[in-house]
Amino acid sequence: MAFDKNISKIMLSDIQYFKGFIRKNSHKINETNSWGLTYLMAACQAGNIDLINSLIEAGSDLDMKDRDDCTAFHYAVSGKQHTVVPLIASKGANAEKCNAQGNSLLHLAVETGCKDVVKAVLHVTENKSVQINKQNVNGDTPLLLACHRGNTEVIQQLLLYKPDVNLENKHNNTPLHWACSWGFKDIVEQLLLFGADVNKKDIYHYTPLHWACDSGHLEVVQQLLWSSKCCSKTSLTKADVNAVDSDAVTALHVACGLGYENIIKELQIPELKVNAKDIKYGNTPLHWACRSGHKQAVQQLLKSNPDVNLRNIEGNTPLHLAVLKQHYDVVALMLAQSQVELDIKNCNKMTPLLLAVSEGHLGMTHKLVLHKADIKAVDADNNNCLHLAVKKGVFHSEDETVEILDKFYNMLNLSKKERRSGTIVAMYLAYSGGHFHHKNKGDETPLDLIENPVLKQKMKTLLPSLCLLCEVNEPTVKFQPCGHTVTCKDCCLKIQRKTCPKCQQIIVEKSGFVTPKSENKEVQTPAHPSESKVLPTSRILGIKSVQLEIIKHDNPGNTEVKGFQTLRKWFTACDPEKRTLKTLRDALLEAECFEALECLPQTE
């Protein structure tokens, strides 16, 4: 308790009391508390010159250490007592000692940020060239600590003694790394003038340019990129804009990931490698910008004409990542680029559309459908977008609505809360051209994945039937006169039937290869269906119009004779090398003259 009382008296500058204590207790002049604090240490920290002189005269040990290996000299410096520094130096205190952290007096002086203390310490330091580059246990020099704190006046004091500006700490940080990280542009300029290595790498292989970009300091980036110009012959070089860290990340990657479009603009110099890929995921700067959702950064980067379709290790393009992260404005910007390929598949065979559906992003799905994404694309398991929609169950409720969904949940008599269910979205995708009868590798159709039997039956009544022959494709060919549309185009071409597979009625006319959307429209049958095929067939075979008019004039109303005379004219007038069944078959097929096709042999 007495010791603590005495320390309090010192801190209060009660000199008379303490001088009396010294006279009566000279044997206690070097006593300490549990930390190792002495009366002289406390007096030096308080800056009481009179008391310091009295203690030294009474026999206080100038070089005693506390538990942190700090002497009275260290206490004077930490207390910013610049007038005490020369005093105790003159009394023989050791100015070269370091504390337990390896900090010299100069380290501690720099940490105070007081230029007068720094100046005083430098003045009493004998071996200045050694002390100026002294490294503590972390490898930090006084200059590095000063750059970390951004004290320009202190740094100017240190630079007068020509320190090594490129000395690294244990993390390989140099003073320039710290100055760039904190954005101290005036300090950066001074360091460059004194020869700081602008491309020095730290333990993570970050250059000063990486740090400036990471912290968003535009003016520092400008200094580094043009240091060779602004610093004349003193600077080693300007910053390498393509330098990579331990993960092959460039400064451009960093700026793009953080959305600093102004810094991106500065980095866009001729030697910039705009398509550089990182090691971890193989992402380009454009991947980073799209993944982070920085529209302005993407917009600026596109001015360097990056490859917008490059795939990363997972096969994802920048568009994949923007879709995955639901960055609508970035997706819209990317879709506006003519070079963007909308249906590139990643390593799981997922297109951006399939990815949007699998993640349950309704608005993103709708946006991609509107931009004509391949609705029939399938993933590695042969799932189409309808499979993925049904499997997802519920889609995210985003701001963008798809009014067409109302139609389907009303048709299925579902509640409004089920509007964004996977089944309803699958119906919407089917309406947009998706295939509800497509089978995945598990031999399942999207319809098979619907667990509710009542809902499944309702949907079957709404879906188009399948071709009666292949049971895979939707029927598109309409037979006359029965009017049934029960086979697909492929089956109709492969299997030359004379009767309708549904009603067995003789087929007079196959009235066109209609699309599913036109299937419900009435097909107008001409009065003379066979005759309607004569003219296009004749033209395809190369018969002149004047010759056709002669045949029509000579054989009014007799379709069979007209057809025969037309074929005879072709047979006698054409090049013998082209006078083949294949030529005739191709012409009849192109003119959709199926009844004539059935009369031809299948082989030459």
AA identity, residue 429: L
Q: What is the pLDDT of residue 227?
A: 63
Both tokens of residue 106? 């100069």
> d(Cα 539, Cα 570) in Å, to the nearest integer?
10
The torsion region of residue 543 among left (phi > 0), alpha (psi -120 to 50) and beta comes to beta
Both tokens of residue 284? 């380009």
Decide the pairing of beta strands 485-487 and 477-480.
antiparallel
CB–CB of 433/376 below 8 Å?
Answer: yes
Q: What is the pLDDT of residue 436?
A: 87
Instruction: Assign 42 to helix, strand or coil.
Output: helix
> d(Cα 578, Cα 502) in Å, to the nearest integer?
38
Instruction: Tell me the CA end-to-end span of the chain in Å, nearest whole number.
Output: 121
AA identity, residue 292: S
Q: What is the pLDDT of residue 372?
A: 94
| Helical axes 581-590 vs 529-541, angle rounded to 10° | 130
Residue 521 pLDDT more than 90? no
Q: What is the pLDDT of residue 2?
A: 77
The three-point CA angle 359-361-364 to 5° equals 125
> d(Cα 347, Cα 264) in Å, to the nearest integer?
30
Instruction: Kindly tell me the burial class for residue 338, based on how many C-beta atoms sit within 10 Å of its own C-beta (0-12, 13-18, 19 or more).
Output: exposed
DSSP calls for 117-178: HHHHHHHH-S-HHHHTT---TT---HHHHHHHHT-HHHHHHHHTT---TT---TT---HHHH
> Which is higher by pLDDT, 458 or 161?
161
* Mean of pLDDT values over 348-363: 96
Residue 598 pLDDT more than 70? no
Residue 414 pLDDT more than 50? yes
Residue 454 pLDDT more than 90? no
Residue 146 makes CB contacts below 8 A (sequence gap 6+) with 110, 154, 155, 158, 175
Q: What is the pLDDT of residue 408?
A: 78
Which domains occur in the chain, in start order? 390-462 (no CATH), 477-518 (no CATH), 530-597 (1.10.533.10)
Range with the poorest average pLDDT among 220-224, 336-340, 421-425: 421-425
Proportion of the chain above pLDDT 70, given as a percent: 83
> d(Cα 432, Cα 372) in Å, to the nearest integer?
10
pLDDT band at 533 (very low <50, low <70, confident <90, very high): low
* Mean of pLDDT values over 86-98: 93
Which residues lie across from 487 on neighbouring strands?
A: 477
Cα dihedral 366/369/373/379 (nearest 10): 60
> d(Cα 469, Cα 28) in Å, to the nearest integer?
112
| Residues 534-551 pLDDT 10s | 566 666 767 666 566 666
Give the Å distances, CA to CA, from 101 to 70, 97, 122, 137.
10, 11, 20, 6
pLDDT band at 113 (very low <50, low <70, confident <90, very high): very high
Note the pTM of the prediction, 2 decimals. Answer: 0.75
> d(Cα 122, Cα 561) in Å, to the nearest integer?
119
Proportion of the chain above pLDDT 90, given as a percent: 57
Q: What is the pLDDT of residue 595?
A: 59
> Which is higher by pLDDT, 570 or 454?
454
Q: What is the pLDDT of residue 600?
A: 64
Q: What is the pLDDT of residue 522?
A: 35
| Residues 137-155 pLDDT 10s | 999 999 999 999 999 999 9
pLDDT band at 217 (very low <50, low <70, confident <90, very high): very high
Peptide bond into 481 cis (omega under 30): yes
DSSP 477: E
Among 64, 113, 55, 107, which Cα is nearest to 84's? 55
> Which is higher by pLDDT, 551 or 365?
365
CB–CB of 132/123 below 8 Å?
Answer: no
Residue 399 pLDDT more than 60? no
Residue 483 pLDDT more than 60? yes
CB–CB of 319/291 below 8 Å?
Answer: no
CB–CB of 239/208 below 8 Å?
Answer: yes
Residue 489 makes CB contacts below 8 A (sequence gap 6+) with 473, 476, 477, 513
> d(Cα 244, Cα 256) in Å, to the nearest integer?
15
Q: What is the pLDDT of residue 512?
A: 55
pLDDT band at 557 (very low <50, low <70, confident <90, very high): low
* Mean of pLDDT values over 75-99: 95
Range with the poorest average pLDDT among 1-15, 353-367, 380-394, 428-442: 1-15
Among 204, 96, 104, 199, which Cα is nearest to 145's? 104
Residue 166 pLDDT more than 90? yes
Q: What is the pLDDT of residue 547?
A: 63
Q: What is the pLDDT of residue 402?
A: 63
Give the Å distances, CA to CA, from 565 to 568, 571, 583, 596.
5, 10, 17, 14
CB–CB of 547/566 below 8 Å?
Answer: no
> d(Cα 78, Cα 93) in Å, to the nearest integer?
15
Both tokens of residue 301? 């980067």
Q: What is the pLDDT of residue 139?
A: 97
Query: For the chain, what is the mean pLDDT?
Result: 86
The three-point CA angle 372-377-382 to 5° equals 165
AA identity, residue 8: S
Which residues lie across from 479 on neighbouring strands?
A: 510
Residues in the chain: 604
Which residues lie across from 506 on neighbouring strands?
A: 499
Residue 52 makes CB contacts below 8 A (sequence gap 6+) with 40, 43, 44, 84, 87, 88
| Residues 253-304 pLDDT 10s | 999 999 999 999 999 999 999 999 999 999 999 999 999 999 999 999 999 9
Spatial strand order in the sheet of 509-513:
485-487, 477-480, 509-513
CB–CB of 50/87 below 8 Å?
Answer: no
> Which is higher by pLDDT, 522 or 353?
353
